[in-house]
């Protein structure tokens, strides 16, 4: 009986481990989202001022992602 339980636990660990390692880090996801939004904003910007505004709006969010703020906000 103990062997079956041990076998089942190890089998489950081997099945779950690859799923966990492929998961995207919350901070990486945060950075990707902000960078995509910045790219979309710049693409839609008409003037240089609009482009600067895009960077100004997204820069604090990107820095928050880099500092790891995303771990606490994404984990909720």
Say what the pTM is: 0.57
Q: Give the span between the Cα atoms of 29 and 51, in whole angstroms.
A: 23
Closest CA to 58 of 75, 70, 76, 40: 40
- The answer to whether 56 and 34 are in contact (CB under 8 A) is no
Higher pLDDT, 4 or 75: 4
Q: What is the pLDDT of residues 42-60, one digit of tens each?
A: 999 899 999 899 989 888 8
Residue 76 has pLDDT above 50, yes or no: no
Q: CA 13 → CA 1, 3, 9, 21, 67, distances in Å?
A: 19, 15, 6, 12, 31
């Amino acid at each position: 009986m103990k062997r079956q339980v041990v076998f089942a636990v190890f089998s489950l660990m081997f099945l779950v481990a690859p799923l966990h390692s492929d998961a995207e880090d919350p901070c990486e996801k945060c950075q990707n989202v902000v960078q995509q939004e910045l790219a979309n904003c710049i693409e839609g910007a008409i003037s240089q001022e609009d482009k600067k505004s895009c960077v100004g709006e997204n820069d604090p969010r990107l820095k928050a992602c880099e500092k790891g703020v995303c771990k606490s906000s994404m984990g909720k």
